[in-house]
Structure 1
Amino acid sequence: MALGLIMISLPGLLSGCTLGYLLRQGVVQVGLLMRSQPLEKVLPTLPKEQQEKLAMMAVGRDWAVANLHMKPIASYKSYIDVPGDSVSNVVQGASSLELKPYLWTFPVVGAVPYKGFFNLKEATQEKTRLERLGYDTLMRPVSAFSMLGWLPDPLYSPMLRYDTVGLVSTVIHEMTHATLYWPGQADFNESLATYIGSQGAAQFFAAQGGADSKMAKEAAAQARDHLLVAAAFDTLATELDAIFHLPVSDAEKIARKVECYIRAQIRFQRMPFESNYHRWLGDQAMNNATFMMNRTYYAGLPMFDELVRKHGGIATTLEWLVAQKAPKDPWAWLHAELGQAVSSKP
């Protein structure tokens, strides 16, 4: 997730609310960074299982730089111990009768469909504000985010809850943001990072222990499940769009939307996942905000898969993308690049 709070903008260009928000989050972020310790110093104090996990993460980080041509920055070489199971909370909103996210605009990152808070009370207040405006909402904890290459990303203690495959995948995901980030294009940025994170982890573990090793099989299964989930959300988007364009009352549309999400939840429960990574989707109560959150991370995964095949691998594809000028409509641009009918949707 690209939520690093980078305090480089001119205060005079910001509204009072935005400036106040950035200053509050920035103070906490600076405080966290001041508590960071070199990972090599912390490593001996951790349980053996976590030491092994972090050692593999370090190998995966360096492998991604060498083999996926990630930006060579000193990320994940420091450690920050934070209380609890998350670093911050993220609030998201979406129109209740349209697949349209609520957007916040910030310096550097542009318009994004999420807003992060280190303070739970502030996050809850923002969620309540959106609900009063009639939006579907979601508030969720996060255990990692990217500073987009402006500063080295630290390893936060909640990330140690991930299994080894999940940790390496998350690190490669965040390194993708540091390598390529197009301001104002959150869906493109996040889904690209999701694709490269999962596929990159699968390649890494296959290179480490062979394709038949336990971790390589798990990483490959997760990568295939990512594509399965992406297709499921494409189907759900089509169903929801059809409901929202029906010539019926708003109340009827909302009732049908709720029924549609219940059916989708049942489909996720019955989906033939190869790994346990996505099992939570069958337990998640869904609304337009939760859908748009998932859509942000899974939109266009099949297109990225095709793009990587066209360019001969993740490294060459990433190099090619970095060399491009950020398009105003990345999905239409990508459809054209792949020789498909041009659309502003993935």
Structure 2
Amino acid sequence: MKINPYKILLILALTSVGLYLFSGCSTMGYYAQSVQGHLSLMGQRKPIEDLLKHKDLKEGRRTQLKNAIAIRQYASEHLFLPDNGSYSSFVELEKPFVVWNVVAAPELSMEPHEWCFPVVGCVSYRGYYSEENAKRFAADLKKDGLDTYVGGSAAYSTLGWFDDPILSSMMNRGDILLAELIFHELSHQVLYFKNDAEFNEAFADSVGEFGVYQWLADTQPKALPRYETWLKRKDQFLHLVHETSDQLRTVYSSNLTDADKRSQKAQIIQTMHDKYTSLKTTWGGFKGYDKWFDTPINNARLAAIAVYRDRVPDFKRWITACDGDLKRYYSAVKKLEKMDKDERHRHLSIVTECNS
């Protein structure tokens, strides 16, 4: 595949990486790592159809790639997601994640720090292809008194500028979550509203989860109960995150001294740990969120989840209002683009009919 290097430089200066490719940094070093990292990734792409012809391809990987092709086809034919070259190629990474995202928030605030870039607008995270560089940047932010979080990402979207590949990091959690991730990332090509990461991510999550439900119903109905159980546990975890965030917001906005706020913060986070321990007793041995709790919890870690999930229930309500018709759903949501962010979020939360 021929790629115009000048176009790449322009796009990488305007498009983000994280779960997107974030460029537009004020330092040339950040531009350099973005360009180099993305060029390297694009240069490693191999058509999946060609890989499947190789006799030395391991059977496990062969099965995964065949399933990925079927998932990609389902996305366009049944979920009406873009039918293009995205996710028709594969890259075997030599690392567990493709990028590492840095999130930061003040010690006594739940509002994440934002970085602003052309085209994509302001976002609350910044991505690096090197975990070491991400941790170094987070350490600098921590010196300024900010809570920080560095988290690996299995994929990112170039919003249709490039034919994004399937990555080995996307396949580590099984076919069901691979499907959810592909549907999520393709949804960003359906719509992406500048300066509204919370809206964009929640929309993509709603399509990802609804899409998997439809895909399983059509292809693996016996797997539906397992996915429903997984979603229920995820919702319980997210409710705990949301509850904790709300409690911290109340403390931070109070007239308490900073010392008392810090004390309350520690108590609330400890209570969150205790509630999770209790919640797990109802999960039949499932420990899927243990790793999340093994790392110290702070405002940045909580804010990172809020970006993706706080608006998902509203979007799911809209899907129901549109009778599960994704074409109508996409049309209805696209009509919100001309609204400013606050008006858009208010409209999303109160409308109960599908205005497609």
Query: Shorter-chain-normalised TM-score: which range?
Result: 0.7 to 0.9
SS at structure 2 position matched to 1:182: coil
Amino acid at match of 1:328: D
Q: Which residue of 2 aligns with 1:178?
A: 189
Does the CA contact (< 8 Å) of 2:46 and 2:89 recur in 1?
A: yes
Query: What CA distance in whole angstroms lies between the structure 2 residues aligned with 1:51 and 1:313?
Result: 33
Q: Which residue of 1 aligns with 2:330?
A: 318
Aligned partner of 1:59 among 49, 66, 70: 70
1:208/1:23 CA distance change after superposition, 3 Å: same
Q: How does 1:247-266 map to 2 (within 5 A)?
A: 247-266=255-274
Q: How many Å apart are 1:110 and its aligned residue? A: 1.1
Q: Which residue of 2 aligns with 1:344?
A: none
2:347 is aligned with 1:333: yes
Does the CA contact (< 8 Å) of 1:225 and 1:278 recur in 2?
A: no
1:74/1:219 CA distance change after superposition, 3 Å: farther
Aligned partner of 1:81 among 70, 82, 92: 92
Q: How many Å apart are 1:6 and its aligned residue? A: 6.5
CA offset digits 1:100-146 (Å, max 9, x no partner): 00111122221111111113332122101211111100011222111
TM-score w.r.t. the length of structure 2 is 0.84
TM-score w.r.t. the length of structure 1 is 0.87
Query: What CA distance in whole angstroms lies between the structure 2 residues aligned with 1:167 and 1:294?
Result: 19
Aligned partner of 2:229 among 218, 221, 232: 221
Query: What CA distance in whole angstroms lies between the structure 2 residues aligned with 1:289 and 1:99?
Result: 8
Amino acid at match of 2:271: R
SS at structure 2 position matched to 1:167: helix
Aligned partner of 1:17 among 26, 41, 56: 26
Q: How many residues align?
A: 331
CA offset digits 1:211-267 (Å, max 9, x no partner): xx1x33222223333433343333222211121123221121112112211211232
Does the CA contact (< 8 Å) of 1:265 and 1:283 recur in 2?
A: no
Query: What CA distance in whole angstroms lies between the structure 1 residues aligned with 2:127 and 2:256?
Result: 36
2:36 is aligned with 1:27: yes
Q: Which residue of 2 aligns with 1:47?
A: 58
Query: What CA distance in whole angstroms lies between the structure 1 residues aligned with 2:288 and 2:211?
Result: 16
Q: Which residue of 1 aligns with 2:121?
A: 110
SS at structure 2 position matched to 1:17: coil
Query: What CA distance in whole angstroms lies between the structure 2 residues aligned with 1:6 and 1:335?
Result: 38
Q: How does 1:297-316 map to 2 (within 5 A)?
A: 297-313=308-324, 315=326, 316=328
1:63/1:263 CA distance change after superposition, 3 Å: same
RMSD of aligned residue pairs (Cα, Å): 2.6
Q: How does 1:222-301 map to 2 (within 5 A)?
A: 222-271=230-279, 272-273=282-283, 277-301=288-312
Q: How many Å apart are 1:7 and its aligned residue? A: 4.1
Query: What CA distance in whole angstroms lies between the structure 1 residues aligned with 2:166 and 2:318?
Result: 31
Aligned partner of 2:157 among 140, 146, 152: 146
Q: How many Å apart are 1:172 and its aligned residue? A: 0.9
Q: How many Å apart are 1:276 and its aligned residue? A: 5.7
Q: How many Å apart are 1:53 and its aligned residue? A: 2.5
Amino acid at match of 1:261: I
SS at structure 1 position matched to 2:102: strand
* Gapped regions of structure 2 (runs ≥ 5): 1-6, 15-22
SS at structure 2 position matched to 1:148: coil
| Identity fraction in percent | 22
2:214 is aligned with 1:203: yes
Does the CA contact (< 8 Å) of 1:159 and 1:167 recur in 2?
A: yes
